[in-house]
Amino acid sequence: MRIMMKYLALASLVLAMPVLAQAADKIGVVSAQDVFMNSEAGKRADQDLKNKFMAKQQELTREGDSIKQAAADLDKKAGVMSAEARQKEQSALQTRFNKLRDDQNTATESMVQEKNRIVEPLMKLLDQVVSDYAKKNGYSVIVAREATLFAASGTDVTAEISKAFDAASRGK
């Protein structure tokens, strides 16, 4: 019975293929990543994020370098230190390292949240631009290029979507 159901399902799928192919008259592909990276709004968002978090990243890098230098200095003088003094300095270095790691995690989380806050409205705008473009130009389906194994030449609408996205983002 199971085998018969599988064959029936397969047969109905094969019979439906021509109908599905006719339903999707015009298919396009778009690279959302390219649209964002090459658009004015995407470049501006990327620069805003870099500007906002650059100072914190530099501060964290300086602290990491300072910890490395302190560890190297400790290694050099460890032979002439008492075990108690060496343990005390190692503990202090470990505390600094743990704080740096926590600060890095906090900064990363903050950056991800800020990126999501900035990108979310742009994604909504891109969805609207793609939808409007598809309707205006008679596309039944526009799919992400990154999720497509093969696309015939002439189906990539990234350049057109980029222009429309830039125009729409200037209006916002």
Residue 79: the pLDDT is 85
Number of domains in the chain: 1
Considering the domain boundaries, does residue 13 fall inside one? no
Q: What pTM did the predictor assign?
A: 0.65
Tens-digit pLDDT profile for residues 115-148: 899 889 999 999 999 999 999 999 999 999 998 8
Asked whether the beta carbons of 143 and 29 are under 8 A apart, the reply is yes
Considering the domain boundaries, does residue 12 fall inside one? no
Domain that holds residue 113: 25-170
Considering the domain boundaries, does residue 16 fall inside one? no
Considering the domain boundaries, does residue 88 fall inside one? yes
Considering the domain boundaries, does residue 127 fall inside one? yes
- Which CATH number characterizes residue 142's domain? 3.30.910.20
